[in-house]
Structure 1
Amino acid sequence: MRAPLSWLREYVDLPAAESGRDVADRLIAAGLEVETVEQTGAGLKGPLVVGKVLAIEELTGFKKPIRYCQLDVGTAGTRPGEPQNVICGATNFAVGDKVVVVLPGAVLPGGFEVGARKTYGHVSEGMICSERELGMGEDHDGIMVLPPEYEVGTDAIELLELVDEVLDIAVTPDRGYCLSMRGLARETATAYGLPLRDPALLDVPSPNSYGYIVKVADPIGCDRFTARTVTGLRPEAHSPIWLRRRLQKAGMRPVSLPVDITNYVMLELGQPLHAYDRSRIDGPIGVRRAEQGEKLTTLDGSDRVLDAEDLVITDNRGPIGMAGVMGGANTEIADVTADPQSGEVTGTTDVVIEAAHFSSVSVARTARRHKLSSEASRRFERGVDPEATAAAAQRTVDLLVLLAGGTPEAGVTEIRTPSGPHTIRIPADHPDKVAGVTYGRETVARRLQQVGCDVYGDVARSASMGGGGRAAAGPDELTVTVPSWRPDLTDPNDLAEEVIRLEGYENLPSTLPRPLPGRGLTERQRLHRRVGRALAGAGHVEALSYPFVGDAVFDAFGLDSGDARRRTLQLVNPLSDEEPGLRTTLLPGLLSALRRNVGRGSQDLALFETGLVFLPTGNEKTPPRLPVDGRPTADQLASLDEALPAQPRHIAAVLAGAREQAGWWGSGRQAEWADAIEAARTVAREAGAELAVESARFAPWHPGRCAAFYADVDGTRTLVGHAGELHPRALKALGLPERTCAMELDLDLVERAGTGRVRAPHVSTFPVATQDVALVVDASVPAATVESALRAGAGELLESLRLFDVFTGEQLGAGRKSLAYALRFRASDRTLKAEEASAARDAAVASAVERTGAVLRGA
């Protein structure tokens, strides 16, 4: 909402020295979001006056029309009292017209200095301006022609209100009343402690049976409808400059007088209106739900197919408008036309004014369904004052009579659905408890009254009388009647928020919470932090992503149609139609972050993420509707949990580019599948879990470079994750670098498989005995299987085992490979003898021979 400061001053007597920035600071302190304070006419300097065109000489011989104009500017010219001569290329004005003239010495917005100069063979003593050159708008089709009543020589800067300050306010959905000058003026008056001149306080005639016939078939969708008729409008009447300027400063384009007046009243009071050409309406006006498939051509020229849930305005022919969104083209105000021979002006002379209150939900759904957002729908969606319809219609009638010479008909139509005011009972100390500050009963009552509430109770009466000192004792509760323009105030917490914001958020003390003794992080939280620190220490960077996915990424992964990861929980109102589901794996978001960073010039990346995935089973129950007037019961909370899908915590990592940088120390190394497996082992070590690694085929990993991890979870061998190099087809579909690797583990399962403790390494005082062994096995035998067999045979003396070489060659034979291991033996209580180390080594080799068919190399 754009609010000109000059317009705001009409309703609140602000101090003369207050600038737009000062007012913005007060409104920000009251909880509004003032984005900018625009200085219109910044740098503008006169002389800028009203001039009259005395003569026009058409210059020929140029590629475009050029006119040499003689202007009467009164005493403001370089030769006071004499006409000024100006060169102009526009052709939309004639002799006798009044125009805006910039004289030598003036400076236009943007720092453009105007002086006398010779051009097209003549001396131009200034220029004639368009609206865009004056900073009034984007209209540059021609010169701005003024109404004839303005005197020659009048200061145009003041006449056109070119210098002003405009506050641009981002109105949040709960403060729809601030989409009007009335609402902003109320907030300004409260912020300054000044009285408000409410523009809605008008004398409105009582409804009668002589008004235009209106039939409301859906009183829930439309609970207020006021109709007024004005006849005898002058078609040639134009919007006065003050009206056009206020619309322009508020960001709206002037169209025609009746339309401009309805837009002006909407900005002033916050009530959207619509003016129908009475001659184009066939019969009574109706309000109903559309029939499925009905069609309507809206004011923007689009043909729209209506839905059965759309609320429409009708006449005998069918829909003539989408209620609260946009009117129809077949009843719009007619364009003003003039007969070229007789000069007779024709256009709309009789109008019917609609001021109604429509359901915010109905308007919001219609606007989204048809992708048609309008100034009216923005206001109805956020809540419009239902009691302002009659005042808005009356204000529109008054302006049509004043500016267009119309005559109001005596008939007043007003349809109301009976409804009482909304009343809330609130403990007087409730805002104190919410804020942790003692405001007192008098302050609570006074602030709620400033909002517009009626507050009942002894303390409220004392506050309203302005009495000082201690108030008389009253009840513990206050009865608060919410004003009609604040539909967002529904419960005591809303009222507490109003008190707190008006008292000032900056006055709330900063206090740290005091945790109860003995309560720290849970084991799950501790593991989460340990894992994050360990991966960060290994060179990974944490990246958080949105938990939303779509089928496109699963297609890129190459997942089968029956893959469980495709069964996602669908959101009712997703942020993006392309990603309507909740993730079942962390890889889509993490790979998207990788692609984004690669696109921005990063080449060597190692990212990780820890987060929940959502695994629906299809057996989830419908969630219960929880009460808002108290804490849910244990059974209700349990029912809510039953409606949720399984949400295990996963951890994933992705790598691309160099894992070790090249330099004087060496050639470096690219990230590969082994790095992804090592990342998984790093996670397992922090949980105290042992992972068994096996080769696997699992999309989106490369079938020959994919590892599956198994762990002992509650006594059962369980698959806990995968790692390896991603499939080339998936990398191409996702736009990722070649040889990108990834790892994903179910962290909850890894935690259950672990000991929950990380043991510090034991430093022995006894020497180590190292034995190397090389085993030849079939190429299909995994190294992990050989390692497991060696560990089983070596016994308790084995301290560590490391694969340090893999060799293949002709001397081994086709389909054979050599695996070389370094075995370290150590006893905790003595120095091992050579015979003991050799026996342990032989037992390890024997176990490997028995389990894997290995042959000791060189034997």
Structure 2
Amino acid sequence: MKFSEQWLREWVNPALDTQALVDQITMAGLEVDGLEPVSGEFSGVIVGEVLSVEPHPDADKLRVCQVAGGDEVVQVVCGAPNVRAGQKVPFAVVGATLPGNFKIKKAKLRGQVSLGMLCSETELGLSERDAGIMELPEDAPVGQSLVDYLGLNDVTIDVDLTPNRSDCLSIRGLAREVAVLNRLQVEAPQTAPIAATHGEVIEVTVTAPEGCPRYLGRILKNVDLTVPSPMWMQEKLRRSGIRSIDAAVDVTNYVMLELGQPMHAFDRAELKGGIVVRMARPAETLVLLDGQEVTLSADTLVIADHEKPVAIAGVMGGEHSGVSETTRDLVLEAAYFDPITLAGKAREYSLHTDASHRFERGVDYQLARDAMERATELLMSIVGGEPGEIVDVTSEPHLPQATLIDLRAQRIADVLGLDIDRATVEDILTRLGLSIDQPLPEGWRIRVPSYRPDLSIEVDLIEEVGRVYGYDNLPVTEPVGALALRADSEAVRPLSAVQSFFVSRGYQEAITYSFVDPKVQALVDPDRDGIALANPISADLSVMRTTLWSGLLKTVAHNQNRQQPRIRLFESGLRFVREGDDIEQRPMLSGVVVGPNSPENWANGRRDADFFDTKGELEALFQLLGVQVDFAKGEHPALHPGQTAELFLAGQSIGWLGTLHPQVQKNLELNGTILLFELFLDAVLSGYVPNFKEISKFPEVRRDLAIIIENGIAFADVERVVRQQAGNHLTALRAFDVYEGQSVGEGKRSVALSLFWQHPERTLHEEEVHKLFNEVITALTEELGATLRS
């Protein structure tokens, strides 16, 4: 926001020079973006009066003027088209210096002597508008320095406010801040309520109170908009970056800058019936004041009459909402619009206005009536008029409610690193306009004023205390805290151990999106419905994954399409499964193996990896992690029926291993044998604590046997029975031969086993080994129907 330093000092005038004032405002959290003088640097320019204007005898576009201003009347040759007798103008006398070090000297123009120069706003560096000679008010004192008359010993201060400080988008808001920082009182202009002098009121209907909780309207009759705004008002607007247009527009802009309340003045003759505040209707259009025609969206709040929309609420008026010199009756508007309803509306229509800038950030919801009275007073003093009653349509339930915040003294000390006594805190809060609603034993209950919507939680108040107390006055403290080390369980392996394991075996770690193609996911996990995204970035990334296979198989396809025959990928990440009203997010470890078992070279044969290769790698991983995982025949809709294993840890299912189902592979257009595994990561990372065990010095005993079993019996069952019967000193069990053929019978196979016993403290006797061996054979026969192979 740009504002004039002189204007601010009319409200509050601290004993600080310009730079000190700017530094103080910046340190209070309102960063000053820049300073610039309100005019170019010049001297010797006074208020002059044009007494007469005659045509130049030798030039059609020049005029010979007699100008009073100094000790005598002098002749000035002027080429401005708007020069006329009786005009008060800026007059640069001989010896004056204009911006750019342009010196005024006695000169002859086409044979006529010219003793000075009549100046435009551009020539004085007041603006870039070149509309001829600058005209001064009729009561401007002839001969007075223009710098003194217009108060040009001033600077424009540009404050770069953060979006939360909407209360400082006005002179009153900035004055409050400066007054607080300097322990001064704000000298605000006093405006008394203006009584109505006629009985006509504007009919106001609000059908969208959630977007417009408060709307005020007043009719001001018999105004004369041919009267220009006073020079002091035009100058204050110019120094705030706003161009003067006419008295009605200037006054509403002035009140916006002064108090922070955007307003609008309608031509009463252009309104058909009363005012209706409503949401836009489907396909409704509006031609704005800038000539742009827009199609209004259904969630746009509009100001309308009984026939058509006349303005986008809080943003910009339409072509039928403006005033002109022929306007005789005004309808003044002041409203509070909900910031959420207006958020983004200006951008939606490629607009940005001073009103939208304020309404989107939040305007004081109690300010509208004061602004209406102030605008009425200013307009009546400039263009006359007869005011009517103020129509106030307010929906109290939709207005913001007063905020109460509990502030703790100890919390102030913790955050600021300084103990500030209660009296100082209370003084700062009171000067900020906050009221202490109720003292508390540990602090205060604070009531926030309506003009500070940015204060909502305790730390907001602490920030206010800190910045008013002075950031420079806060001590430099180092945070102190206990940093107790957490116990690190040796039984839990880090994820990095798993990653290192797979990398050492030639795998590449993949990182895929957590949202996947619903068609791919339906193929690999048809039993679960993916959680649909409300706003997906594309149709093929529209659901959350229930398995990491969805992303890995897409990666396999990507690599195969680029002639990569050997693929080894693993990934760790979350899966997302809906459990009732909740969403379970569980870490998973998945992998895919495609192509040759080992890289191609002269020493290795070309053999594709199979189910048992991948099973062996998982077994090596489990051995590293120290977990005992059992593999059992299983069924999974995405895996081959005869090449699928379900993994169990302590009787609980923890994952799957298998070959991709041929139909799924065909649908995904993948080549070769695709091996997949997926595990619950948290289940396999917790193993045993490694510990020392002495190696036995006594001899090991080995016994071999060959049994014939049904093909449907898994080796895991054989191993289970053997270990249950072989005693505590069985150190190893190995299957060293598997045979199928006519000699063992149809549907059967022979499995040859080696059993190893070793006692840690003595030599085993032949009798006890023989006894255990026979018990193993008996258990295999009884539980699995096995027979010894002769």
TM-score, reference length from structure 2? 0.62
Contact 2:49 2:86 in 1 (8 A): no
- Aligned residue type for 1:3: F
1:142 aligns with 2:132: yes
Deviation, structure 1 residue 418: 1.9
Instruction: For 1:737-776, list aligned pairs within 5 A.
Output: none
Change (3 A) 1:512 1:426: closer
* Structure 1 match to 2:728: none
Match of 1:30, as an amino acid? A
Aligned to 1:668: none
Q: CA deviation at 1:510?
A: 2.3
Of 425, 441, 444, the match for 2:406: 425
> What letter corresponds to residue 52 of structure 1 in structure 2?
V
- AA at the equivalent of 2:471: Y
Q: Which residue of 2 aligns with 1:817?
A: none
Could you say if the C-alpha distance between residues 110 and 643 of structure 1 is closer, same or farther in structure 2, counting changes exceeding 3 Å?
A: farther
Indicate how the Cα distance of structure 1 residues 301 and 507 shifts in structure 2: closer, same or farther if over 3 A, else same. Answer: same
Using the alignment, how far apart are the partners of 1:693 and 1:95 within structure 2? 103
Counterpart contact for 2:2–2:156, Cα < 8 Å: yes
Aligned with 1:447 (options 428, 445, 464): 428
Q: Distance in 2 between matches of 1:318 and 1:46?
A: 55
Aligned position for 2:72: 81
Shift of residue 457 of structure 1?
4.1
Alpha-carbon distance in 1 for matches of 2:194, 2:457 = 32
CA distance in 1, matches of 2:57, 2:177: 57
Other-structure match for 1:738: none
Structure of larger gyration radius: 2
Call closer, same or farther: CA 1:12–1:713 in 2, change over 3 Å. Answer: farther
Q: Does 1:496 align with 2:462?
A: yes
Once the 2 structures are TM-superposed, how far is the Cα of residue 205 of structure 1 from its aligned partner? 5.8
Pairs within 5 Å for 1:600-679: none
Contact 2:58–2:110, Cα closer than 8 Å, also in 1: no
Which residue number in structure 1 is paired with residue 63 of structure 2? Answer: 68
Q: Which amino acid aligns with 2:340?
A: V
User: Is 1:413 aligned to residue 388 of structure 2?
Assistant: no
1:252 corresponds to which residue?
242
CA contact (8 A) 1:21 1:37 kept: no
> Does the 8 Å CA contact 1:435/1:508 hold for their aligned counterparts?
yes
**Partner amino acid for 2:312?**
M
**1: CA distance, partners of 2:431 / 2:159:** 21
After TM superposition, the structure 1 = structure 2 runs for residues 540-551 of structure 1, keeping only pairs within 5 Å, are none
Which residue number in structure 1 is paired with residue 762 of structure 2? none
Q: Equivalent residues in 2 for 1:476-495 (5 A)?
A: 476-495=442-461
Q: CA deviation at 1:189?
A: 0.6
Listed one character per residue, the Cα deviations across residues 97-127 of structure 1 (whole Å, up to 9, x for unaligned) are 2222112222223433332334444443222
Is residue 136–residue 162 contact of structure 1 (8 Å, CA) maintained in 2? no
Relative to 1, partners in 2 of residues 1:126 and 1:519: Cα closer, same or farther, differing over 3 Å?
A: farther
Aligned to 2:18: 20
CA distance in structure 2 between the partners assigned to 1:272 and 1:26 by the alignment = 28
What is the aligned partner in structure 2 of residue 466 from structure 1?
Answer: none
Find the counterpart in structure 2 of residue 48 from structure 1: 46
- SS for the counterpart of 2:186 is coil
Q: 1:218: which partner in 2?
A: 208
Give the secondary structure class of the aligned counterpart of 1:182.
helix
> Does structure 2 retain, via aligned residues, the 8 Å contact 1:426–1:478?
yes
Unaligned runs of 5+ in 1: 337-346, 459-473, 529-546, 550-560, 575-579, 585-612, 624-638, 649-691, 696-711, 718-748, 754-859
Check conservation: 1:47, 1:104, Cα contact below 8 A.
no
Report the counterpart of residue 295 of structure 2 in structure 1: 305
Counterpart CA distance in 2 for 1:278 and 1:489 is: 39
SS at match of 2:390: strand
Per the alignment, residue 381 of structure 1 pairs with 360
State the match for 2:710 in structure 1.
Answer: none
Residue type at the aligned position of 2:95: G
2:251–2:375 contact (8 Å) kept in structure 1: yes
Q: Deviations over 1:421-460 (max 9, x none)?
A: 22223334332232221112222222111111111346xx
- Measure how far apart 1:517 and its partner are: 4.7
| Structure 1 range deviating more: 504-513 or 292-301 | 504-513
> What does residue 156 of structure 1 align with?
146
Aligned to 2:379: 400
1:622 Cα offset (Å)? 12
Aligned match for 1:104, one of 81, 88, 94: 94
CA contact (8 A) 2:228 2:246 kept: yes
Distance 1:400 1:172 in 2: 33
CA RMSD for the aligned pairs? 4.4
Shift of 1:353: 0.3
Residue 33 of structure 2 corresponds to which residue in structure 1? 35
**For the structure 1 residues 285 and 511, does the alpha-carbon distance in structure 2 shift closer, same or farther, using more than 3 Å as the test?**
same
SS in 2 for 1:222: coil
Q: Determine the structure 2 residue equivalent to 1:464.
A: none
- For 2:128 and 2:33, how far apart are their aligned partners in 1? 22
Query: In structure 2, what is the Cα distance between the partners aligned to 1:103 and 1:571?
Result: 72
TM-aligned CA distance change 1:124 to 1:442, over 3 Å: same
Rate the CA distance shift 1:142–1:317 in 2: closer, same or farther, 3 A.
same
Q: Is the 8 A contact 1:210 1:412 kept in 2?
A: no
Does 1:243 find its partner at 2:233? Answer: yes
Q: Which amino acid aligns with 2:441?
A: P
Residues 614, 503 of structure 1: alpha-carbon distance in 2 compared, 3 angstrom cutoff: farther
Residue 737 of structure 1 is matched in structure 2 by none
- Flag structure 2 segments of 5+ consecutive residues without an equivalent: 497-510, 514-518, 522-529, 549-570, 590-596, 601-616, 623-680, 686-790
Structure 1: distance between partners of 2:580 and 2:104: 72
The alignment status of 1:269 with 2:235, answered yes or no, reads no
Map of 1:10 onto structure 2: 10
286-295 or 429-438: which moved more?
429-438
Which AA in structure 1 matches 2:345?
Answer: T
What CA distance in whole angstroms lies between the structure 2 residues aligned with 1:36 and 1:74? 36
Distance across 2 between alignment mates of 1:645 and 1:111: 75
Deviations 1:753-784 (A, max 9, x none): 9xxxxxxxxxxxxxxxxxxxxxxxxxxxxxxx
Note closer, same or farther for the CA distance 1:570–1:68 as it changes in structure 2 (3 Å cut).
farther
CA distance in 1, matches of 2:472, 2:420: 14
Q: Give, in angstroms, the shift of residue 377 of structure 1.
A: 0.5
What is the alpha-carbon distance in structure 2 between the residues aligned to residue 141 and residue 436 of structure 1? Answer: 59
| Residues 660-705 of structure 1, C-alpha deviations (whole Å, 9 max, x = no match) | xxxxxxxxxxxxxxxxxxxxxxxxxxxxxxxx9969xxxxxxxxxx
Letter in 1 for 2:74: P
Distance 1:288 1:314 in 2: 7
- CA drift of 1:277 comes to 0.4
CA contact (8 A) 1:614 1:645 kept: no
* Paired residues of 1:107 and 1:114 also in contact (CA < 8 A): yes
